[in-house]
Amino acid sequence: MSVALIRPLTVRTVAVSDPADLLARLPGAGPYVWVRHGEGLVGWGVAARTSVPPGPGRFQWAREWLSSVFGDARIDDEVGMPGSGPVAFGSFAFDASSTGSTLVVPQVVLARSGGKAWLTTVGEPSSDTVAPLAAPLGIRYEDGTLTALQWQDRVAKAVRRIRGGDLDKVVLARDLMAVADREIDTRVLLSRLATRYPECYTFSVDGLVGATPELLVRHTGQSIESLVLAGTVARESNPADDAARGAALMASEKDRYEHVCAVVSVKEALAPLCAEMHVPDEPELLMLPNVQHLASRVTGRLSDGASVLDVVAAMHPTAAVGGTPTAKALGVIGELEGMDRGRYAGPVGWIDSRGDGEWGIALRCAEVSGDHARLFAGCGIMGGSDPVAELAEAQAKFRVMQYALEG
């Protein structure tokens, strides 16, 4: 389904004074958000939108739809930065055969980046008054597709498959259902996430809300950057214990191998698109409030002017959310998870009319609808994985969205 409320788009971008808190400017529920360290873009209203048909060509279809919408647009852009002019926010299902992928061009986008701020409007948007925030009340949790014990059993089966030589790694996800006493205002969740997890990319697209630590790709001109995360341990409140955990993570043969698999998958995906690429020899520790990750920042320069969606198409799914080898891992996911991930672990982000943009992997997130939220967490399973430890890691990852719901 495609809807263009204003066609051709008449777009105007003007510089504005610093809005300080982008999230505080959102008028109501259902916003479009991509924010990190207080910078990024927020949007509301709908100028054009489409449901991307499932299938192996979905990213190409999305690019062609955007080319049609942006190509016809009448653009007056006095800022000329990535994210100025018309912008589409999007999120894609993890599985190419699943429905739910969507692209939306908001009617209003407010942005701040690099010491500048700007406002983009499409047509003549109505003046929206900011509605009061309403925190979720009475949060209750229910089992998702599998109970904790059932999921541990699936992890054990995956470990046996890996030890038997079927594959090297598979990422298994689980879901958790939350129910509130009233409709969940996603703006409250976004504000809590952005405040507690400033290092992450806080996002919102059509009810998919979260704060992902994983940057799939940043595309600026011909330059691209990707942050690869694989290998995780929960934080400790005692600084000495926390440091010891980080050191153990860096020394862990299992986690280091998992990280190498993820880095290699990104390198192989980017190589055909890049004239230059830099891959660090050693990972770093990324410290978040709830977990520590092994992290590698991969950079490169594109050789053929590909848009950010072309890069997303080449990279998804990475080993960090699928496994190694990819085809085998996806088959095992289909056998053992017992659920449709929806847009969890799929690409989420934004793209402008120049093809620039930022896209992450939808992790530490929930699908919010009315008074319900479906939370997700996943773990990289290797031959040395312990089902009890993997469950503990998944629980640590759930805590991100549980904090957003409960405060």
Tokens representing residue 287 in the block = 């410290």
Tokens representing residue 87 in the block = 């912008």
Residue 251, φ and ψ in degrees, nearest 5: -95, -5
Q: Which of 116, 169, 258, 268 is catalytic?
A: 169
Beta partners for residue 35, in sequence order? 40, 202
Q: In sequence order, what are the residues at sequence separation of 6 or more whose Cβ sits closer than 8 angstroms to the Cβ of residue 111?
A: 22, 40, 41, 42, 83, 84, 117, 118, 119, 120
157 is annotated as an active-site residue? no
Burial of 156 (0-12, 13-18, 19+ CB in 10 A): middle
CA distance 366 to 350: 19
Nearest to 304 by CA among 335, 270, 330, 281: 270
Question: Read out DSSP for 230-246?
Answer: EEEEE--SSHHHHHHHH
Longest dimension (CA), the chain: 62
Q: Kindly state the helix (H) or strand (E) to which residue 321 belongs, with its residue range.
A: none
CA distance 167 to 363: 23
Nearest to 118 by CA among 78, 158, 151, 70: 78
Pair 381, 169: CB distance under 8 Å:
yes
CA distance 80 to 113: 12
DSSP 5: S
169 is annotated as an active-site residue? yes
Q: In sequence order, what are the residues at sequence separation of 6 or more whose Cβ sits closer than 8 angstroms to the Cβ of residue 208?
A: 91, 343, 348, 362, 365, 366, 367, 368
Pair 120, 11: CB distance under 8 Å:
yes
Q: Which of 157, 183, 214, 253 is catalytic?
A: 214
Residues carrying an active site annotation = 169, 214
